C-alpha cells in the first residue's frame, strides 16, 4: 500500500513539474501586441524609433507621430528590455497596415525599433533611361549594346555580384563572385541580336574562371568555338559550379561563333559578319566588345585592369569568341589588347585564361550603385 502511494506521489510530482515547465514555456513565448497609436508621440519612451541616416548611423526621431514611410524605409529589427533594463529575447514584427508591433517575449517594457533606408532598385531599362547621368554608359548602342566605355578609371560603376546576394561575401571573395557589366541590350537598333530583349545585362567575370584552358586538340586547325574545349568547359564544368538559383538567371542566347574570311584586317565586328550561330548559356568576350569599350587602350575591359592581378595577366592575352577565319593557317584568335584592340593567332593547344560572359534575364532587379565598394547585387523575388 505504501509502495503504491509513493509511486502515485512520484507520478503527481512529475506531472506537476512538467506542467510548470510547459506553463513557463508558454509564458516565455507569449506574443504581445503593442499598439503604435498608444505610444506616438513618444513621451513615455516605451517605444523609440531609430531612423537610418544617409550619412550613416541611426538617429532617434522623437517627434514622430506615425510609422516611417514604408516607401522610403524598411523595418530592420527590434531591441527590447524589461523594467530593470535587462535585454529580453524578442521577435519584432512591424505591421504597417494595422499600425502595431508584435513582440515575442513575456514582459516587454521598452522597445526600440530600427528602420533602414530602402536601397534603390534598378533594372537594365532604368540604367539605359538614366544614361545621360552616367558618363561611362554610351549615349547610343553599338551592335545592340549600350556599353560601358572608357578607361578603368572612367568606368567605376559596373561591378556586379553573381552567385551570392551577400555583398560582403562577394567583396571578400572577388575571384569567385565579382563580375562587371559589359553593356545593356537594346535590340531595337540592331538586326544582329534578334533573340535579345531590351534591358538585358551582358556581364563578364572580373577574374578568369580558369587560367590555363586550351582551345582544343592541336591536330585540328580552324576549330570553331562550338566544337572547342573552351565552350565545353564553360557550359558544363563552369556552369555547374554556379548555384542553381543563379543558373536560372542566365539567359540562353544566340551567340556568333565565326566570321567571314573575306573580312581581312578587321576582326572587330564579328557579331555582324557571322558564318555560324548557335544558342547556349556561357560564351566569351567578342573582339567587338573590346574594341567598342574605349577610345584609347587599354580600356576598362583589358584583363590587366581592375581587380585582376596585373603581374599574373600582364600579357593581356585571353580567349575570345572570335574563333576562326576559315583559313587553314588559323587556329584561334585571342585578345592581346594592352595598347590597341588587335587579335593574334595562337596555337589551339596553347593555354590561356578564360573569362566567362553571359546575359542575364530581362527581369532581374539590382540593388547598389555598381561601385567596387557597393557592387550591384541581384534582388531575390519576394
- pLDDT tens across 94-111, in order? 777 777 777 666 666 788
Highest mean pLDDT range out of 14-23, 171-180, 283-292?
A: 171-180
pLDDT for residue 273 is more than 80: no
Highest mean pLDDT range out of 215-229, 237-251, 294-308?
A: 237-251
Q: Do 46 and 112 meet the contact criterion of CB atoms below 8 Å apart? A: no
Which has more confidence, 316 or 263? Answer: 316
pLDDT at 34 (0 to 100): 62
pLDDT at 177 (0 to 100): 96
Give the C-alpha separation, 306 to 264, whole Å: 32
| CA 382 centroid distance within chain | 16
Return the closest-CA partner of residue 305 out of 338, 335, 336, 283. Answer: 338
Which has more confidence, 173 or 67? Answer: 173
To the nearest whole percent, how much of the chain has pLDDT over 90? 23
Mean pLDDT throughout 263-291?
A: 64
Mean pLDDT throughout 123-134?
A: 83
pLDDT for residue 145 is more than 80: yes
Highest mean pLDDT range out of 134-148, 305-319, 335-349?
A: 134-148
Question: Minimum mean pLDDT among 50-64, 99-113, 251-265, 364-378: which range?
Answer: 251-265
pLDDT at 30 (0 to 100): 55
Kindly provide the residue ranges of all beta strands, DSSP E only, lying in 235-305, ordered along the sequence: 250-251, 253-256, 277-280
pLDDT at 218 (0 to 100): 66
Which has more confidence, 227 or 306? Answer: 227
pLDDT for residue 357 is more than 70: yes
* Alpha-carbon distance values, 352 to 212, 282, 287, 335, 380 (Å): 5, 17, 16, 10, 35
Q: State the distance between the two ends of the chain, measured CA to CA, in whole angstroms.
A: 66
pLDDT for residue 237 is more than 90: yes
The three cell numbers locating residue 201: 545585362
pLDDT for residue 162 is more than 90: yes
Which has more confidence, 281 or 380? Answer: 281
At 8, which helix (H) or strand (E)? helix 2-27
Mean pLDDT throughout 216-239?
A: 81
In 3-state terms, the chain is what percent helix, strand and coil (to 5)?
20, 25, 55
Mean pLDDT over the full length of the chain:
76
Which has more confidence, 369 or 13? Answer: 369
pLDDT at 180 (0 to 100): 96
At 165, which helix (H) or strand (E)? none
Which has more confidence, 99 or 356? Answer: 356
Which has more confidence, 17 or 139? Answer: 139
Q: What is the DSSP letter of 38?
A: G
| CA 255 centroid distance within chain | 23
Give the C-alpha separation, 48 to 46, whole Å: 7
pLDDT for residue 68 is more than 80: yes
pLDDT at 250 (0 to 100): 95
Strand partners, 108: none
Q: Do 95 and 166 meet the contact criterion of CB atoms below 8 Å apart? A: no
Q: Do 355 and 197 meet the contact criterion of CB atoms below 8 Å apart? A: no
Give the C-alpha separation, 124 to 158, whole Å: 12
Query: Over the range 342-369, which residues count as b (16 or more CB within 10 Å of their CB) and which as e?
Result: bbeebebeeebbbbbbbbbebebebbbe
pLDDT for residue 208 is more than 60: yes
pLDDT at 228 (0 to 100): 84
Give the C-alpha separation, 226 to 36, whole Å: 63
User: Beta 47-52 vs 110-117: how paired, if at all?
Assistant: parallel
Query: Over the range 225-255, which residues count as b (16 or more CB within 10 Å of their CB) and which as e?
Result: bebbbbbebbbeebbeebeeebeebbbebeb
pLDDT at 226 (0 to 100): 79
pLDDT for residue 331 is more than 60: no
- 340 burial (CB, 10 Å; 0-12 / 13-18 / 19+) is exposed
Q: What is the DSSP letter of 137?
A: B
Read off φ and ψ for residue 226, nearest 5 degrees: -60, -35
Give the C-alpha separation, 325 to 321, whole Å: 12
Q: pLDDT of 20-53, one tens digit each?
A: 444 444 444 555 666 665 666 666 677 888 999 9
pLDDT at 266 (0 to 100): 40
pLDDT at 268 (0 to 100): 43
Mean pLDDT throughout 144-165?
A: 91
Amino acid at each position: 500500500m505504501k509502495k503504491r502511494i509513493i509511486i502515485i506521489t512520484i507520478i503527481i510530482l512529475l506531472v506537476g513539474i512538467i506542467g510548470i515547465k510547459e506553463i513557463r514555456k508558454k509564458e516565455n513565448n507569449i506574443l504581445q501586441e503593442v499598439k503604435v497609436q498608444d505610444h506616438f508621440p513618444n513621451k513615455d519612451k516605451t517605444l523609440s524609433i531609430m531612423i537610418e541616416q544617409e550619412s550613416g548611423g541611426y538617429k532617434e526621431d522623437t517627434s514622430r507621430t506615425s510609422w516611417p514611410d514604408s516607401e522610403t524605409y524598411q523595418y530592420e529589427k527590434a531591441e527590447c528590455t524589461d523594467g530593470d533594463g535587462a535585454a529580453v529575447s524578442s521577435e519584432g514584427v512591424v505591421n504597417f497596415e494595422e499600425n502595431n508591433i508584435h513582440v515575442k517575449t513575456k514582459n516587454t517594457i521598452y522597445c526600440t525599433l530600427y528602420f533602414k533606408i530602402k536601397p534603390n532598385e534598378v533594372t537594365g531599362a532604368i540604367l539605359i533611361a538614366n544614361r545621360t547621368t552616367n558618363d561611362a554608359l554610351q549615349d547610343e548602342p553599338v551592335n545592340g549594346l549600350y556599353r560601358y566605355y572608357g578607361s578603368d578609371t572612367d568606368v567605376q560603376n559596373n561591378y556586379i555580384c553573381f552567385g551570392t546576394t551577400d555583398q560582403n561575401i562577394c567583396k571578400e571573395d572577388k575571384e569567385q563572385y565579382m563580375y562587371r557589366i559589359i553593356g545593356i541590350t537594346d535590340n531595337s537598333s540592331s538586326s544582329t541580336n534578334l533573340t535579345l530583349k531590351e534591358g538585358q545585362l551582358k556581364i563578364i567575370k572580373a577574374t578568369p574562371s580558369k587560367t590555363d584552358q586550351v582551345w582544343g586538340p592541336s591536330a585540328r586547325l580552324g576549330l570553331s568555338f562550338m566544337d572547342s574545349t573552351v565552350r565545353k568547359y564553360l557550359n558544363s564544368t563552369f556552369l555547374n559550379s554556379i548555384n542553381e538559383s543563379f543558373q536560372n538567371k542566365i539567359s540562353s542566347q544566340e551567340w556568333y561563333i565565326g566570321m567571314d574570311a573575306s573580312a581581312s584586317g578587321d576582326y572587330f565586328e564579328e557579331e555582324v559578319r557571322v558564318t555560324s550561330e548557335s544558342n547556349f548559356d556561357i560564351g566569351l568576350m567578342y573582339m567587338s566588345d573590346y574594341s567598342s569599350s574605349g577610345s584609347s587602350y587599354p580600356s576598362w575591359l583589358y584583363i590587366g585592369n581592375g581587380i585582376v592581378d596585373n603581374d599574373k595577366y600582364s600579357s593581356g592575352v585571353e580567349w575570345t569568341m572570335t574563333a576562326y577565319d576559315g583559313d587553314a593557317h588559323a587556329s584561334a584568335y585571342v585578345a592581346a589588347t594592352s595598347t590597341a584592340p588587335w587579335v593574334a593567332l595562337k596555337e589551339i593547344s596553347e593555354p590561356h585564361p578564360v573569362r566567362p560572359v553571359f546575359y542575364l534575364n530581362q527581369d532581374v532587379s539590382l540593388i547598389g550603385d555598381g561601385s567596387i565598394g557597393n557592387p550591384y547585387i541581384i534582388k531575390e523575388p519576394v
